[in-house]
Amino acid sequence: MEEKTNLKYFSKNEKRKFFQSKYDYYRSFNRGMLLIAVAAYLSFFFTDCGIFGRFAYETLIPRCIVIVPFLIFRIMESKIKDYRIMVVAYYALIHSIIWLTDWSTYLLPDRQYAMSGMIIMNLIFACAGFAAPFWYSTVAHALMIADIAIANLFLHYNNLHMMFLFNVPCVIAICMMHYLMQNAYLEQYTTKNMLQKMALLDQLTEVDNRNRLREICRPSTSEFSFSSDMDVSVLLMDIDYFKQVNDELGHEAGDKVLVHLAKQLKTCVRAADYIIRWGGEEFLILMPGCGTERAVDIAEEIRKKTEGSDNGVCKITISVGVAAYKGGDYHEVIKNADEAMYQAKRNGRNQVVLYSEN
């Protein structure tokens, strides 16, 4: 259980999936947060007017120009889904607000409110870290200290040491909060994946159950989502005289036979194929990118291995029907494979039959 709730045990690809999931989960929240941040920044123009005691035309451009990076960000977000790019874009927008704030502050006659601006920016960084990997948020937030040091070169803060004394603890505290939040989301992520896996897995044989077909279909349809020009074959197989195994040797022995056959199937099919427990002793194999000629060869290999293997209970054979998926409702191809399988039964069992409309 520890390996499932600790990122150090994740492969590079698994980590990428986790961080993408985290980004997707908080994306709408971060979008709203950034919209609020930009709106708040624009509203500070009225604060500038209060400081000047008149219309603050001096800060009008640095206040309004924030709309440009925000629009760039929104265009990017509509086209790019990769968290590695968009999290950087999030933080680039936040830092652009800091730089524009420094520009506005430089033009103000009174700079005593700079500390208040830093409080607001720390809050924005705290919210932005929800969707970001911990190290992204740590580096991005730590750069705010560099922003302060660079801004001091032309703003000449009267209380620079207080700016650092206030912001460094805030950065550390918020980064630690992001670390704890990431671990909390990791627990949610692993639990969700476990439940999804259980929903798609046959508990006895540890191959897929029928629910897997919904994942392969286009939304709200019974049509497979494979490319229309891809060959797709379906194998449907049944253990011959399996009822006798249960009746004579017991259901526990029958379960052992099913588990053994499932293991055999895993050794015969390709990584891209789907093995589904279709019924009590029936298994369906969905083979994208595989024509019927190759599918028949694989089915024959499965049949021979099953006949010749020792499952620890008794000798078994299987009858297999093969059919080609030609688009449309997948129930039709399964019906065709079922007809071919029962033709194999009628022909004497322990054989492979390819479905033909004739």
Express each pLDDT in 320-338 by its tens digit: 999 999 989 999 999 999 9
- Give 1's pLDDT tier (boundaries 50, 70, 90): very low
Q: Give the pLDDT confidence score for residue 295 in this predicted structure.
A: 95
Pick the more confident residue, 318 or 4: 318
Q: Give the pLDDT confidence score for residue 156 in this predicted structure.
A: 84
Q: Give the pLDDT confidence score for residue 10 in this predicted structure.
A: 87
Per the annotation, the verdict on 281 as an active-site residue is yes
- Give 215's pLDDT tier (boundaries 50, 70, 90): confident
Arithmetic mean of pLDDT, 40-58: 92
**By C-alpha distance, which of 130, 133, 152, 174 is closest to 32?**
130
Arithmetic mean of pLDDT, 181-187: 91
Whether residue 128 contacts residue 22, with contact meaning beta carbons closer than 8 Å, is answered with: no
**By C-alpha distance, which of 332, 273, 342 is closest to 301?**
273
Beta strands 352-354 and 282-288, pairing class? unpaired
Q: What percent of the chain has pLDDT over 90?
A: 65
- Give 197's pLDDT tier (boundaries 50, 70, 90): confident
Pick the more confident residue, 116 or 217: 217
114 backbone dihedrals φ, ψ, rounded to 5°: -60, -35
Amino acid (one-letter) located at 100: L
Pick the more confident residue, 204 or 110: 204
Radius of gyration of the chain (CA): 31
Arithmetic mean of pLDDT, 76-82: 93
d(C-alpha 273, C-alpha 327), whole Å: 17
Q: Give the pLDDT confidence score for residue 124 in this predicted structure.
A: 86
Arithmetic mean of pLDDT, 283-291: 95
Predicted confidence (pLDDT) at residue 191 exceeds the cutoff of 60: yes
Q: Give the pLDDT confidence score for residue 3 in this predicted structure.
A: 42
Q: Give the pLDDT confidence score for residue 319 in this predicted structure.
A: 96
The catalytically annotated residue of 281, 300, 307, 357 is 281
Measured over the CA atoms of residue 62, residue 64, residue 65 and residue 71, the dihedral's sign is positive
Predicted confidence (pLDDT) at residue 4 exceeds the cutoff of 70: no
- Considering only the C-alpha atoms of the chain, give the largest distance between any 2 of them, rounded to a whole number of Å: 98
Tens digits of per-residue pLDDT, 121-169? 888 888 888 999 999 999 999 998 999 899 888 888 878 888 888 889 9
Q: What is the DSSP letter of 59?
A: G
Arithmetic mean of pLDDT, 67-79: 94
- Give 2's pLDDT tier (boundaries 50, 70, 90): very low
Token pair recorded at residue 126: 């705290």
Predicted confidence (pLDDT) at residue 28 exceeds the cutoff of 80: yes
d(C-alpha 222, C-alpha 217), whole Å: 6
- Give 5's pLDDT tier (boundaries 50, 70, 90): low
Mean pLDDT, rounded, of the chain = 90
Q: Give the pLDDT confidence score for residue 185 in this predicted structure.
A: 92
- Give 231's pLDDT tier (boundaries 50, 70, 90): very high
Q: Give the pLDDT confidence score for residue 138 in this predicted structure.
A: 93
Q: What are the C-alpha distances in Å from 165 to residues 116, 145, 156?
A: 14, 11, 16
Q: What are the C-alpha distances in Å from 181 to residues 6, 12, 190, 292?
A: 13, 20, 14, 50
Predicted confidence (pLDDT) at residue 262 exceeds the cutoff of 70: yes
Arithmetic mean of pLDDT, 272-283: 93
- Residue 310 burial by Cβ neighbours in a 10 Å radius (0-12, 13-18, 19+): exposed
Beta strands 274-277 and 282-288, pairing class? antiparallel
Token pair recorded at residue 36: 């609020």
Region label for 108, one of left (φ > 0), alpha (ψ between -120 and 50) or beta (otherwise): beta
**Quick one: which H or E segment has residue 274?**
strand 274-277
Terminal CA-to-CA distance of the chain, rounded, Å? 54
